[in-house]
Structure 1
């Protein structure tokens, strides 16, 4: 529902509507919420759609979706509740705060939620997992008593119905079902989608005479050791200073309006949990035919970039459809060993590939050095978690950024920049500068730990001055985390606003179409531009505003799922360690005291209580007191400071 409201805010072409959407559109047209002109449906200027928030004393604010405008004040919400999706009528000509009245409640911002059975004061209730408020759907007295306490159910908030029994809260295996169900994510694909994905034959180069044949070039892939979907391959021609970045040509198989495309739009991103992935595309494509596997002919979309060795600028580039044949699949650890002189080639193919990689490394090192003169180098840590077959934590560790990661990163950044340079309207990856309000909060937090704030000519210079002091205090990662928190969230947009964090004037995502729908759209757009196909280009751009917003929202959903799953694992681990003491670091003092576990297990978020005053980033010993498994919250008390 929210996706449809966003589309109607920007204008939805009749030919792009589904049967269900047309039914709703017909109803709303009859109520004059919409206009219909040139085969496009759009909200009438008097109406706005949004989410109800900040409910208090029967008043609320409508957070308008689909456009960047001020919230609308509503002074009588009637039967509406916080989180409802609303079509509202603007009150025009009224002085003061922009206001509106509710025209219709059309759904809930969160289409699905999780309900579970609890017992309070000797009475069983069916409540929301996160709030413990009654859910819209109901279970009869008989149903409540026939199930166990802690039994979990997926709820359709629009229909107010129980959709699915998920399991019991006591079972660690149910955590995955919880985090996926709240956003209606699933691993399985419909039979129609799978049938089509399985129907594509293996690549026969003779069937693609118009593609550039690059099979003789020493391409290789470099990925995590656990990776199964290989989006990108690289090849460095040192003699001619040419970098080839070959990307899986997903658009050859996933056509607009087809069943695979419909499912890919719905998913928009692959989701990565510690033990497995939930792919955007069927595995028959993502892990086989599209994946740039070694020793197999594969269709790819290639950026050929000619570099000037002095300036490190791309002096000429082409993007075209090709066929490649990867000589070797490396993991990051292998390439790092090679850089350390601990891995030798085993055959002529490996010798050719590794020789090219050794000559590429000084180029990417120089590209990185140049990039960091205008962009930022943040050292916030990413936690990797291992779980056992019962989905309990085995171990955690900080992911390490190594030379092999940096080499691949700068190759991909170069290709992404080149892609963004080829159009003025499409999909851009934008990152706007932080607001002054957020910067002021950041400066206050840093001043509290003794970091001097000196406002320089630019935000970049100010932040780099802060980072220098953080290094002296051995708080690089912690301070960088605060700086990142103060920034705007990167998102997708149809027009270019630059990328503040990277320091790039133009940037997009081109290099991962197997796992990101944004990249697939960029491929389609570039192909249309190359072919001079204005009709195809117009199709790709037709609903680009609403598509950009929808993809950005799907990205946040995927991130929330990944973070929440780990939070639930941490909570179960903590529940087995109540009363025990561990090392932790203070990560927030206002509005409440919070910390991160820094012991045998790292990264768990703690809500802390203390009988003394503590400062930001202080190392402490905490005792785990209580765990709320349902909400994945860990409560601990600070026992003492860590002796330095």
Structure 2
């Protein structure tokens, strides 16, 4: 009898093994919901229901292998469900969370809109668990996962206290911790001594009438300008750029830290510098009436804004004669306000720079590309870190004067680096993605867009001139919808150590060197320029650098956006029910996203609040429009009136509806 039972158990085990081996399996990523169930989404776009019991074994974002089952839903219809059985990649590893005490014991809730469960854990060695209270922000690592071998549940280790629950500055600390970014300036104990390469000679240009033009609060002033009208028409423009490489030797502690940070990080009401502030705000900053080392580009322009001859680069000593403010200078040039230049020479120089900038803008309209201006939004905080206002700052004549000078200087640097070294840190943009340009041409043809009756083709869009003609044709359209659609077929701006065109700006080459205090790539371009001026062969640039700089730039932009989203939610929490003008910038299958004109905040407008009858509305992400009863009612770039209906501060989410 016992042998028969053993035999039957063996047969049953074999049967189960056979059934399991023949049961279909799939791989995909888990998408959780706030109702306990979830979905497994595959790379080919299919979605499978994951019942609540199985969701307890996985986390939103996990990549898993799952067994497929056929079940009948509560409506009697057959459907396939997924049972996760093997973990391929965890959706959570290191993450930000809030402390939650469960029966007096430590647990954390991930700071993620799709993950709500509290996960039990412990404090790491060196972190006192008694200091962790309800609602505190922490960094945690997921140590155990139910789908890992020998694990039966989720469990975390809390490694860092980021901010207390009542800290007004939590948005900054949390976002910086999320992206592993530093909170403060570099701390480097060094006797800063100016050291130039052997053979480099610095000209004494301290008598030239250089001035800086920045925001009033700027301390890290890295560019100064001197402009002189020519008797035969046009101007001589000198662009002086601060030279931190005079103090930061290649391979030094400050250099390695700058390379790691890659950029100065600009967050609302907080700046985290790439270099120690003793350099960025003092020794290297082009402070008024202080002798400073600089690299100087000297350019000659005719009255149309075209450059005459080549650019002369030199190492120099300069002394800024005035620290000027964008807004005051703009007021003076526009004939308003009380501010006046301190001397007739300065007044003449500002008038000359205004004329030069206007000529360069016209030149770019005719020979390159010009995009419309967008305002900046400044976040105003009180002494306790509470957001009290968001101020719109339009780009005025003072900003544009400096912008034109910097654009021109960076084009000249690209030409110089390409001719003299064949390498540098370039910003390149190839226009349309080669795999998408055919689709772009098809869309352009559908819309009947031409330039002077000339059709656009993949061949002419692969040239700077053809791309420029497309931009000019798009600028003449009343709606920005087609422009927004076509941007989806374009490539991204990339960092390259080899020369290449920048289609987005309309330039044959573009290499920034005008912000070496704030950008590591600009420091490298300074070193190459200085080596050339000293008669040396520049060191080859590490081939991995472009990828590192591109990744760092992306991370910094994400951090800036996430801090702003949090502050917007705080600021608008008390404005639910108010109406705003907005511009649609994205449409997806769930609704649309729009940006408030008044302050730049992004709101989501669900499809259900756009039109009540679900079967009559279609939110078409591919075409960037929304149809109601088969008629296009809304497109990306349309201006709409909205009413703010809900603010979820914890999720940094703003919900709105169309306002009648």
Normalising by structure 2, we get a TM-score of: 0.70
Task: Find 2:136's aligned residue among 141, 151, 155.
Answer: 151
Residue aligning to 1:496: 499
Q: Is this contact kept in 1: 2:579–2:644, CA < 8 A? A: yes
Equivalent positions of 1:350-365 (< 5 A) are: 350-365=343-358
Q: 2:554 aligns with which of 553, 556, 570?
A: 556
**SS of alignment partner, residue 349 of structure 2:** helix
SS at match of 1:576: helix
2:655 is the counterpart of 1:635: yes
The yes-or-no answer on 1:138 pairing with 2:138 is no
1:249 Cα shift? 0.7
Judge conservation of contact 2:60–2:115 (CA < 8 Å) in 1: no
Aligned residue for 1:563, secondary structure, equals helix
CA contact (8 A) 2:326 2:399 kept: yes
Higher RCO structure (Cα 8 Å, ≥6 apart) = 1
Q: Is the 8 A contact 1:392 1:569 kept in 2?
A: no
Q: Tell me the distance in 1 between the aligned counterparts of 2:564 and 2:519.
A: 22
1:236 Cα offset (Å): 1.3
Aligned-pair CA distance for 1:178: 1.0
Preserved contact between residue 101 and residue 134 of structure 2 (Cα < 8 Å): yes
RMSD: 4.3
How many correspondences in the alignment?
532
Contact 1:571–1:632 (Cα < 8 Å) also in 2: yes
Match of 2:616 in 1: none
Alpha-carbon separation, structure 1, partners of 2:355 and 2:580: 43
Alignment equivalent of 1:375, drawn from 368, 374, 387: 368
The equivalent of 1:7 in structure 2 is none
556-565 or 357-366, which deviates more: 357-366
Q: Distance in 1 between matches of 2:560 and 2:289?
A: 33
The offset of 1:158, in angstroms, is 10
Spell out the pairing of 1:520-531 with structure 2 (5 A cutoff): 520-531=523-534
Measured against aligned partners, the alpha-carbon deviations of 1:446-493 in whole angstroms (never above 9, x if no partner) come to 999xx76445463432332232122xxxx56x8766665654322211
Q: Which stretch shifts more, 511-520 or 395-404?
A: 395-404
Asked if 1:127 corresponds to 2:109, the answer is yes
Correspondence for 1:517: 520
Cα deviation, residue 571, structure 1:
1.5
1:466 aligns with 2:474: yes
Q: Report the equivalent of 1:220.
A: 211
Deviation, 1:111, is 8.3
Q: Which residue of 1 aligns with 2:4?
A: none
1:361 CA displacement:
2.6
Listed as ranges, the matches of 1:320-339 within 5 Å are: 320-339=314-333
- Preserved contact between residue 586 and residue 593 of structure 1 (Cα < 8 Å): no
Aligned CA distance change for structure 1 residues 120 and 484 (closer, same or farther; 3 Å)? farther
1:357–1:291 Cα change, 3 Å: same
How far has the Cα of 1:245 moved from its partner? Answer: 0.4
Residue 601 (structure 1) shift: 4.4
CA contact (8 A) 1:125 1:144 kept: no
Three-state SS of the structure 1 residue aligned to 2:121 is: coil
Aligned: 1:117 with 2:99: yes
Shift in CA distance, 528/623, structure 1 to aligned 2, threshold 3 Å:
same
Aligned mates of 1:120, 1:615 — CA distance in 2: 47
Bigger radius of gyration, 1 or 2?
Answer: 2
Question: Could you list the per-position Cα deviations for residues 372-393 of structure 1 after superposition, in whole angstroms to 9, with x for gaps in the alignment?
Answer: 2343322262441323224444
Distance 1:373 1:83, change over 3 A: farther
Matches within 5 A, 1:192-207: 193=188, 195-196=189-190, 199-200=191-192
Q: Which runs of 5+ in 1 are unaligned?
A: 1-52, 62-78, 85-104
* Of 623, 634, 647, the match for 1:615: 634
Residue matched to 1:419: 413
Match of 1:242 in 2: 236
Bigger Cα displacement from structure 2, 247-256 vs 426-435: 426-435
Q: Which moved more, 1:334-343 or 1:617-626?
A: 617-626
TM-superposition CA deviations, 1:76-129 (whole Å, max 9, x none)? xxx999799xxxxxxxxxxxxxxxxxxxx9x99998531223589999852331
- Take 1:292 and 1:164, find their aligned partners in 2: how far apart are those partners? 39
